[in-house]
Copies of this chain bind each other. A is one copy, B any other.
Amino acid sequence: MLTVYGMKSSGNCYKVELLLEQLGRPYRWVEIDSAAGETRTPQYLAMNLNGKVPLLEVEPGRWLAESNAILCYLADGTPLWPSDPWQRAQVLQWLFFEQYSHEPYIAVARFICRWLAEDHPRRADLPRLRERGAQALAVMEQHLAERPFFAGNEYTIADIALFAYTHAAADGGFDLGGYPQICAWLDRVRAQPQFVAQTTS
């Protein structure tokens, strides 16, 4: 049985939950509270040196970290992670875009707005995060003008990865009203079989 160590409020963890639900694979979820230091205990660091969630336990003693690596591993052999090399490369391109050009702005802005105090010094970062996050959204908007999903005509794990924080971008102060292609794509993702919404977003 697969075990996911995750935190329901985290978009990175929600990616794994959404994929597992869509694949219909049984799994056990262990809720980890990183704000309470549960990712920094010796026990947790023995499973993931980098001290982050989500973490997939494939079997006792075999762990995989990094949300998008987990998506690739779990979706291997399914239509959500296509086997054609060029298609695979397109999916990977968007997975890396998500972690480098999107999540560090859109997820971090959401974190600051939702979980830090009104007078927290990190709020000073918000203008820069919103500027860079808007750049990522603009790239997505243009890309989606020509195709229904990120890797082309088919729904893949690239869509799952980008959905995770884009659907909750308003939490970080982004107004998706200016991005009609993104809004239509969010609806296409929500219409996929066995879609589940993030429970705490």
Which residues of chain A have a CB within 8 Å of any CB of chain B? Answer: 49-50, 58, 62, 64-70, 72-73, 76, 85-86, 88-90, 92-93, 95-97, 99-101, 103-104, 139, 142-143
Q: Which of A85, A90, A97 has the most CB of B within 10 A?
A: A97
Copies of this chain assembled into the complex: 2
B76 & A96 in contact (Cβ 8 Å cutoff): no
A104 & B101 in contact (Cβ 8 Å cutoff): no
A66 & B96 in contact (Cβ 8 Å cutoff): yes
A62-B86, A67-B96, A73-B89 are known; give 12 further A-B pairs, CB within 8 A.
A50-B97, A50-B101, A58-B86, A64-B93, A65-B93, A66-B93, A66-B96, A68-B96, A69-B95, A72-B89, A73-B85, A104-B104
B50 & A69 in contact (Cβ 8 Å cutoff): no
Q: Which of A72, A86, A88, A104 has the most CB of B within 10 A?
A: A72
Q: What is the bound-complex CA distance between A101 and B66, given in angstroms?
A: 10
The residues of B that contact A70 with a CB separation of less than 8 Å are 89
B142 & A49 in contact (Cβ 8 Å cutoff): yes
Per a CB cutoff under 8 Å, which of B73, B93, B97, B100 touches A100?
B100
Q: What is the bound-complex CA distance between A104 and B86, given in angstroms?
A: 27
The residues of B that contact A93 with a CB separation of less than 8 Å are 64-66, 69
A64 & B50 in contact (Cβ 8 Å cutoff): no
30 A-B residue pairs with CB within 8 Å: A49-B139, A49-B143, A50-B101, A58-B86, A62-B86, A64-B89, A64-B90, A65-B93, A66-B96, A66-B97, A67-B96, A68-B92, A68-B96, A69-B89, A69-B92, A69-B93, A69-B95, A69-B96, A70-B89, A72-B89, A72-B92, A73-B85, A73-B86, A73-B88, A73-B92, A95-B96, A96-B96, A96-B99, A99-B99, A104-B104
